[in-house]
Amino acid sequence: MLYHLDLAKDIIRQRDFAVLVEGYMDTIAVARAGAPNVVASCGTSLTESQVKLLGRYSPSRRVVVNYDPDSAGQAATERSLALLLEQQFDIRVLVMPAVKGKPADPDTFIRTQGAEAYQKLLAQAPPYLDYLIGRARAMDLSTAEGKLRAVNYLMPYLQRIPNRLLRSEWASRIAAQLRVDEPVLRESLRRAAAERRSEVKPKPELIAPGAKPAERRLIRMLVDAGGFRAHLAEEIRKNELHKGLETEKIFAALLPICESGDAPDAGAVEQSLEPGDRNAFARIIFEPAAEPAWEEAESCLSVLRRRWIEAELVAVQKQLEEKPSAADTRRLLARKQELRKLLAAL
């Protein structure tokens, strides 16, 4: 039985969402902090019957999972998400910030930081996939195999989203956050969903970190293209097309030199970089390459513009999910439409 449900069920109906915590003390603290629509699983694993019972009292099936931030709480959160998703709940996850450098459960946080601080965090609790993406980003993403593990960690949750358009939006967000080539993720997701699999199996080299062809070609052009070097550098810098790329630091070293029209000293640039970027830059400038042409540069710039637009679309969608004011919603929807038009024009 969910602790406090008998007392909370009418308030859950009124507010149309529940706060799910682990224990008695958390329940008491959260209720006193102004959220009496709280229930607790009392340290035991949430069960399917408990989830169905909770769904009776929230017509919209909305729940905020607020378990302890320790390893046991994280494991319980993930188990609860699987059950709640099976029953088609709209789930958010609230993880309490550390207090004086130490993990804090809801009871500790409220006692030290106050009810108002808790209420603010509760109102801003992110969607469950944002929580899971954060967990995935804490994995080792420095190798292709690491990125594949992170994607497969998220796949069972992503598959449970019934709306295909929403799955696509989240696939874009995951690709951006994990720096995985989005077409690879989308194709892997499509195949896994069609075959009812809970994991993806793209070749690891397809999601390996490193400079994509457009990035590599632009870097080489900045070194070699005397005729349009300054213009190319200006186009990249003014739109910040290099931000967030694996090669961002290489571009940052080249752009100030190239914007002046000067030819960069490859040896000096190489020495200014950290070892990983230094090796990548050396490989790029020694690759066989055709004579630079502006038409090819424009094509490569379009690839970076598409990446930038898709990243902003993800950010706009995330803001829309945070339930902004009516005026902000209109502004964000207009921006989303504008970005989609820009994307279609590329």
Q: Same domain for 148 and 104?
A: no
* Same domain for 233 and 190: no
pLDDT for 214-263, tens place per residue? 888 999 999 988 889 999 999 999 988 998 888 899 999 999 999 988 89
pLDDT (0 to 100) of residue 208: 47
Tell me the torsion sign for CA atoms 145, 146, 147, 153: positive
Q: Mark out the alpha helices in the chain (DSSP H runs).
A: 5-15, 24-32, 48-56, 71-86, 106-113, 115-123, 128-137, 144-159, 164-178, 182-194, 213-224, 229-238, 248-259, 266-272, 275-285, 294-321, 326-345
Do residue 30 and residue 93 come from a single domain? yes
Of 188, 206, 224, which marks where a domain is finished? 206
CA distance 196 to 293: 46
Determine which of 80-94, 182-196, 210-224 has the lowest per-residue pLDDT on average.
182-196
- Using CA atoms, how far apart are residues 225 and 50, in angstroms rounded to an integer? 66
Residue span of the structural domain in which 227 resides = 213-299
The verdict on 265 and 286 lying in the same domain is: yes
Report the alpha-carbon distance of residue 90 to residue 57 in Å, rounded: 14
| Helix H or strand E segment including 65 | strand 62-65
What confidence tens digit (pLDDT) does each residue in 302-334 have?
888 888 888 888 888 888 887 788 888 999 999
Tokens coding 221: 């052009």
- Residues 259-275 have pLDDT tens digits of 988 899 988 998 899 88
Q: Are residues 201 and 182 part of one domain?
A: yes
Residue 143 backbone phi and psi in degrees, to 5: -125, 160
What does the pLDDT average to over 177-206? 68
Report the relative pairing of strands 38-40 and 62-65 from DSSP bridges.
unpaired
What CATH number should be reported for the domain holding residue 76? 3.40.1360.10
Distance of CA 76 to the CA centre of its chain: 21
27/102 same-domain check: yes
Q: Does residue 72 share a domain with residue 14?
A: yes
**Do 171 and 251 belong together in one domain?**
no
The strands making up 38-40's β-sheet, listed across from edge to edge, are 38-40, 18-21, 62-65, 90-93
Q: Token pair for residue 171?
A: 């696939």
Please give the structure tokens belonging to residue 160: 């449970």
Query: For the chain, how many structural domains are there in total?
Result: 4
Are 326 and 287 within one domain? no
Q: Within this chain, do residues 237 and 260 fall inside the same structural domain, yes or no?
A: yes
Are both 92 and 195 inside the same structural domain?
A: no
The label of the residue with tokens 């632009």 reads 218
Q: What is the mean pLDDT of the chain?
A: 86
Cα 172 to Cα 14: distance, rounded to the nearest angstrom: 35
Same domain, 55 and 148: no
pTM across the whole model: 0.61
- Is 132 in contact with 154 (CB distance < 8 Å)? yes
**Domain-terminating residue out of 149, 176, 206:** 206
pLDDT category of residue 183 using cuts at 50, 70 and 90:
low
Task: Please say which residue of 126, 152, 171 terminates a domain.
Answer: 126
Mean local confidence (pLDDT), 115-144? 90
